Amino acid sequence: MATIALEGVSKEFRISRDRRVLALEAMDLRIAEGEFVALLGPSGCGKSTILHLVAGLDEPSTGRVLVDGVPPRELQAKQELGIAFQEHALLPWRTVEGNLELPFQIAGRRPDREHIAGLIDLVGLKGFESARPSQLSGGMRQRASIARALCLNPKLLLLDEPFGALDAVTRRSMNLELQRIWQQKRITTILVTHTVEEAIFLADRVLVMSGRPGRVVREVEVPFARPRVVETMRQEAFHRMVDDLTQSLEP
């Protein structure tokens, strides 16, 4: 598991020869080891930019990003980072098992068959080891994507709208599954989502971001005990929190 620190981070993008966009400005953020944090905010506020910076896929314009006290690229080089995006990015010609072998092969390691079988079981895909992505439902493909992100026992899990393309019923089911998986692994996790209910249900802490340039304008500790169940979302206190955070997102 990892600790994350953003210290005075700003990020500027050049979108044309004479125009720049400031995506993040003077961002300070700390995430504790084993914590599940959700980022909420309007489109274009820099949520995904934060994930890219923490993943070492981009560099801040000013300030610094540290994971366990070192730059994220060091974590990336040691294959200690798991990422799952809205698009599952599974290789269509590979089976579920074959897609989970891929991280091992990229890292130059022999695939751990027992570990892969355990992850397939963990995400509820036992019996579908030989299925290709086209033979799976959207929710099943996302389960496989999350399993692949966990293959090398990462210290850090980054989730960028992983269920954004799913229907509401499947998405709720996947929220329950992700919570179950996280409780078993307790990996430091950052979730980017546009769905307030999803953020509250899954996270220990919800951070609300402003419009561009992105800043954290509100921080809310989620009070509901784990494991959270469907009935949690029916509680009056849950609905009050949803309404409160929704108002925070209004311009």
Q: Where do the structural domains in the chain lie, given as residue ranges?
A: 4-80+154-249
Q: Is 73 helix (H, G, I), strand (E, B) or coil?
A: helix
Sheet (strand 156-160) strand order: 81-85, 156-160, 188-192, 36-40, 205-209, 216-221
Check whether domain 4-80+154-249 has CATH 3.40.50.300, yes or no: yes
- Give this prediction's pTM: 0.88
Neighbours of 144 (CB within 10 A): 26
d(CA 125, CA 1): 25
Q: What is the pLDDT along the chain (251 residues), one digit of tens a residue?
A: 568 999 999 999 887 878 888 889 988 999 999 999 999 988 878 888 999 999 888 999 999 999 988 888 887 777 778 888 766 688 999 999 999 999 888 888 898 999 999 889 888 889 999 999 999 988 888 889 888 888 888 888 999 888 877 788 888 888 888 898 889 888 999 999 989 999 999 999 999 998 888 889 999 999 999 999 999 999 999 999 999 999 988 76
**CA distances to 145, 177, 209 from 159, in Å:** 10, 14, 17
